[in-house]
Amino acid sequence: MATNDTKNAAQILAKTSLAEGMNEEDLDELLASAEVALRTYPKGAMIFHDGDMPHSLYILLEGEVHILKDTYSGRQIFISEIDRPGDMFGEVYEVLRRPYDMYVRAVTKVRLLEVSSHLFTLDVGAAPHRSALIVQRNLMKIFAGKAYAMHTKLKILASGTLREKIVRYLFPHVDAEGNVMLTVSREFIAAYLAVSRPSLSRELSTMQREGIIEATGRKIRVLDMDVFESYL
């Protein structure tokens, strides 16, 4: 990697859960590894296709990608968006060595740090680098966190009505003043709740007309907490 690119990648990587516990020397060692590469993709490029075998886990340095899935009838399903520097994707498939069952497309020009699993899956007798051991340890924590997040999602999806799903999704993010600042798009939330975006928007509008919430862009304010909490 070029010096400026390396510095930029190190600064972003240092803030990720994958690099938790790494010092500057560890970061330099990791980025210098032959198993780590910095790649740039133009807008519209496919990062990987449905059915491809994984070769890396990916860390976003710049830009935005969408995780998508096509149905047998050809309908495109939006699964998630990755738009925050340091966000990681594809790690589960890379570690398990299972083909992707979705695909990822660059929505803008993107720069990615690609880390091969060869870095932290060592042959018997190999001497691991400290940075590789830290990555391996942190991946265990990341997988545990994803398992907990999936447990939470299943509880939300088990809710009876769309309004209950919305309230249970928003409730953990409500601050002391009753405000929620969404960090993701409504399209993402709709995909998370397994509903269409128009359905989500209609229900939020209905809740607003009923005086339960006030929604402006990505900011939601709970106006009637008693009624809001009654849907938990």
> What percent of the chain shows pLDDT beyond 90?
59
Displacement of CA 102 from its chain's centroid (Å): 14
Distance CA 75, CA 69 (A): 8
Query: Which residues are paired to 69 by β-bridges?
Result: 77
Handedness of CA 104, 105, 110, 116 (dihedral sign): positive
Residue 148: the pLDDT is 86
CATH number of 159-229: 1.10.10.10
pLDDT (tens digit, 9 = 90+) per residue, 22-34? 999 999 998 988 8
Mean pLDDT, rounded, for 56-81? 90
52 has a pLDDT exceeding 60: yes
Spatial strand order of the sheet with 76-82 comes to 46-48, 103-106, 65-70, 76-82
Which residues, including other chains, have CB under 8 Å from residue 108's CB and lie 6 or more apart? 43, 63, 64
Structure confidence at residue 160 (pLDDT): 86
Q: What is the mean pLDDT of residues 181-187?
A: 91
Buried residues in 130-157 as b, exposed as e (16+ CB within 10 A): ebbebbbebbeebeeeeeeeeeeeeebe
Question: What is the per-residue pLDDT for 126?
Answer: 59
Average pLDDT, the chain: 90
Among all chains, which residue has been given the structure tokens 């991946």? Answer: 139
- The answer regarding whether domain 3-154 maps to CATH 2.60.120.10 reads yes
Q: Are strands 103-106 and 219-222 parallel, antiparallel or unpaired?
A: unpaired
Chain CA centroid to CA 6, Å:
23
- Biggest CA–CA distance in the chain, Å, is 66
pLDDT of residue 139: 86
Q: Where are the domains of the chain?
A: 3-154, 159-229
Q: Return d(Cα 173, Cα 110) in angstroms, integer.
A: 29
- In angstroms, how far is the first alpha carbon of the chain from the final one? 50
pTM above 0.85, yes or no: no
pLDDT at residue 184 greater than cutoff 80: yes
pLDDT tens digits, one per residue of 106-164:
999 999 999 988 776 655 455 667 888 888 888 888 888 888 888 888 889 898 899 99
